[in-house]
Amino acid sequence: MGLDGYLLGYDIGSSSIKATVLEISTGQVVSSATSPENTELEIISQKAGWAEQHPDTWWMNIQNATAKLRCTSNIDFHDIRAVGISYQMHGLVMVDKKLKPLAPSIIWCDSRAVGVGRKALKDIGEQRCLSHLFNPPGNFTASKLKWVAEYQKEIFRGVHHFMLPGDYIALRMTGSPATTVSGLSEGILWDFKAGRRADFLLDYYGINPELIPPVVPTFGVQGAITEEAASLLGLRAGTPVSYRAGDQPNNALSLNVLEPGEIAATAGTSGVVYGVTDQALYDTRGRVNTFLHVSNEENNPRLGILLCVNGTGILNRWMKNLLGSHNAPVSYEQMNREAENAPVGCDGLCILPFGNGAERTLGNLNVNASVHGIDLSRHTRAHLLRAAQEGIVFALMNGIDILRSLGLRNKIIRAGDANMFKSRLFAEAFASVAGNVVELYNTDGSQGAARGAGVGAGIYKGLSEAFANLSVIRSVEPNAALIPQYTEAYEKWLSICNKRIEQANEGIEQEDQKNEMVLN
């Protein structure tokens, strides 16, 4: 069959599901669809710091997005030769013996397990955790499951397998529960030093290793579309699911960021910078996290170091809802244009763009979003809009400083021409503050998943062939004239942020002292 036919990629986000059909021979997009279209998936928050979504909501929206593709692509879906899956990282999905979800998924930005991970780090020891896991146990999948074991015992007793969001979607498509080594590393369940599953952490948490589903390769035939899934999606039964990866490693893949020194960035619901290295680099304070990259091989290591700012696109959306109304809505394009009317540094107005759960770059603190230095007689909507975009850029730059302190070096950052990088102001500010050229590409996670599926199914000879047709849309250079002003604004922002971190840590120390007094 050669390069005839098509590839289908899904990106399961916390805001929406995106699906894309690519033509194998040209690598061009045949059609894309998003579900839901004019709204965002609901995030259930029963308590402060909690964030849940039901796995079957993702499955329903996958069906909806696929139905739209069938209507718009004008192709025979039986000519789709492989399926790839990208998914929101670090979530916890628990299924029973019938492989049905026991509860909503505890997703990536849920903070309830922060204390569980903090205690594990203390009890196991920082040196052992960091030298073996390359991360603190933190607020990741393993710690979330331990939280369930402690506080939702009835649910935990029914767990047959626990898995990541993408593992669950692959299960619905193939009928076979499975995960990947890359997925184990993102759940902080991989022992980098020993090169195997982190049984010592499972033992500490009292988690039976049999709850982990079988491991399949990131690239490779992981299962085949069942008759049931085929009837729901319009695919040919037996079509291979041949790739799955977390959204940020997959975003890097979609940008062809595979080699040491290459960096990918995104500014969607969360803001992420993801750098690739072949060295055992990790942050001793756990502010950025090291995982196995999708291109990792046993004798050719590739690790991804990820920094994540939770409150990125969600702050931009909050601004949109705040400044618009049902009768007079504002668009992101309007917001971007209006923000350009304010000067660099916003005449002293600063915004900390947090407030979406615990922030890893801040040491797993939940400091909330905040506005600083507002002058009611001087500052306008434009100042507020620009301060939000600059605050996100500065929060990402704070993480880049951490990456650089670990020894990660780069010359060019690649990003998709999407989300906040659509803003000319945001892209230029990011390039200027980071001191890097930013290359923007017309690609996204669903396209990356489709290309990954082509590699995993053996349709493409390798990653170089899969990305042969990927090209730069535009490059954004640092604005040399504005760099001094951005530097000054960033230093002011950083000073405010550090004070807020000190206050949050003081609050934790006071709470710990109260708890000790109660125990004594």
- In this structure, what token pair is assigned to residue 377? 């007689």
pLDDT above 60: residue 42: yes
Could you give the C-alpha distances from 409 to 263, 284, 323, 360, 405, in angstroms and in order?
A: 9, 18, 39, 21, 9
d(CA 117, CA 136): 7
d(CA 520, CA 9): 56
pLDDT above 90: residue 9: yes
More confident residue, 518 or 175: 175
d(CA 323, CA 383): 13
Q: What is the pLDDT of residue 24?
A: 97
Find the mean pLDDT for residues 225-242: 98
Instruction: Quick: pLDDT tens for 452-469.
Output: 999 999 999 999 999 999
Confidence of residue 510 (pLDDT cuts 50, 70, 90): low
Instruction: Quick: pLDDT tens for 381-400.
Output: 999 999 999 999 999 999 89
Question: Does residue 178 contact residue 223 with C-beta atoms inside 8 Å?
Answer: yes
Confidence of residue 513 (pLDDT cuts 50, 70, 90): low
d(CA 119, CA 205): 11
Instruction: Quick: pLDDT tens for 45-103.
Output: 999 889 999 999 999 999 999 999 999 999 999 999 999 999 999 999 999 999 999 99
CATH number of 308-440+480-512: 3.30.420.40
Confidence of residue 515 (pLDDT cuts 50, 70, 90): low
Could you give the C-alpha distances from 47 to 103, 108, 499, in angstroms and in order?
A: 16, 15, 27
The rounded percent of the chain whose pLDDT value lies above 70 is 98
- In this structure, what token pair is assigned to residue 141? 């999948």
Q: Is 349 left (phi over 0), alpha (psi -120 to 50) or beta?
A: beta
* Domain boundaries of the chain, sorted by first residue: 308-440+480-512
| Beta strands in 63-206, from DSSP E residues, in sequence order | 80-87, 93-95, 105-106, 161-163, 190-191, 196-197
Neighbours of 407 (CB within 10 A): 10
Q: What is the pLDDT of residue 361?
A: 87
Q: Which residue has the tokens 């790739």?
A: 243
pLDDT above 90: residue 413: yes
What stretch of H or E contains 145? helix 141-151
Q: What is the pLDDT of residue 359?
A: 86
Q: What is the pLDDT of residue 470?
A: 93
Instruction: Quick: pLDDT tens for 148-193.
Output: 999 999 999 999 999 999 999 999 999 999 999 999 999 999 999 9
For 230, residues 6+ apart whose C-beta sits below 8 A from its C-beta are: 236, 237, 239
d(CA 241, CA 296): 20
Burial of 371 (0-12, 13-18, 19+ CB in 10 A): middle
d(CA 109, CA 44): 11
Instruction: Quick: pLDDT tens for 92-151.
Output: 999 999 999 999 999 998 999 999 999 999 999 999 999 999 999 989 999 999 999 999
Question: Does residue 101 contact residue 148 with C-beta atoms inside 8 Å?
Answer: no
d(CA 251, CA 247): 6
pLDDT above 70: residue 344: yes
Q: What is the pLDDT of residue 301?
A: 94
| Beta strands in 28-67, from DSSP E residues, in sequence order | 29-35, 52-53
Q: What is the pLDDT of residue 517?
A: 57
Q: Which of 301, 261, 307 is nearest to 280 (CA)?
A: 301
Lowest mean pLDDT among 200-204, 256-260, 516-520: 516-520
